[in-house]
Structures are given as structure tokens and as C-alpha cells.
Structure 1
Amino acid sequence: MNGPAMARVVADRGLCTGHAVCVAMADDVFDVDDHGIVVLLREVVGEADGQRVAAAVRGCPRTALRLEEAEPGAAQPAE
């Protein structure tokens, strides 16, 4: 993963326009609501999912997604 072993996914719902590229790349982490706006199914992702989620974040055409280092003590993702 390009970044920390555990990362927190952050979505700016105000920037999202519902292209759903993230859903196509990581549907276990991202979904869209009834208005087509991104919804996070999990906020913390581990190293096993890191490259795929990072690619989904980079693929967002509106740059509405980002990865941050997870806070110490953040809930461990199920891997």
C-alpha cells in the first residue's frame, strides 16, 4: 500500500458526484446511497486491502476520497 499499514478512508460527500469508480474497485469498502453519493462501509482498511483501496481512492474523478494514517487503537479491519 502507498502509505501506512492501516489507513483510514475519508470521503468528502460534498465533492462526490456518483461516478462509483470506487464501488467498482472496492465494493466491500464503498457504496453509494439513494442519491448516488459515496458511503463508506468501513473506515479502516488494513494492509491486505491497501493497494486495492488506494487505487480506488486515486481513481475517483472528483478527488472526493483520501487515505489517512489510522489513529493508534483504531478498530482492526477484518482481513
Structure 2
Amino acid sequence: MKVIVDRTKCTGLGVCESLAPYFFEVNESGELELLKEDVAADELATVEEAIASCPTAALHIER
């Protein structure tokens, strides 16, 4: 499973970063950086929560 970022929708608000900081980071320019793209089974619940919390629906998991 991989995290996918739709850069046309992402506004860099950082909600995902606050919930899963080992996957997401908003850089100094306000752009989201994907720190880790592959999702292990034990990380899935946390990453799904971060994805569901994205106000612009810019994130999803490719299975």
C-alpha cells in the first residue's frame, strides 16, 4: 500500500503532519513533503486517520 498525494488539491495545511508526522511534513515553502510512501499494516490506522482528516481530500492510499 502506498500513500498518494494529489498536489493539485493539497494546500499544505498540515493536518496530516500533525496526525502522522513520520509520513507527512509541510516544508518552509508550505508544500507537503511525503517522507514515507509505503504503508505497513501496523501503520495503516494512523495513516487512514490522517487521510480522512485532510480538508481538501488530497490524500489517498493505493492498494
Q: TM-score, normalised by structure 2?
A: 0.92
- State yes or no: 1:21 paired with 2:15: yes
- Mapping for residues 1-79 of structure 1, pairs under 5 Å: 7-69=1-63
Which stretch of structure 1 is more off in the superposition, 48-57 or 9-18? 9-18
Identity %: 37
Say which structure is richer in helix: 2
Higher relative contact order (CA 8 A, sep 6+): 2
Unaligned residue ranges in structure 2 (runs of 5+): none
Deviation per residue, 1:24-44 (Å, 9 max, x gap): 000000011222121110110
Letter in 2 for 1:13: R
- Report which of the two structures shows the higher radius of gyration computed on alpha carbons: 1
When the two chains are superposed, the root-mean-square deviation of aligned CA atoms in Å is 0.9
Matched pairs, number: 63
Deviation per residue, 1:15-69 (Å, 9 max, x gap): 1111100000000000112221211101101011000000000100000100011
Structure 1 runs (4+) greater than 6 angstroms displaced: none
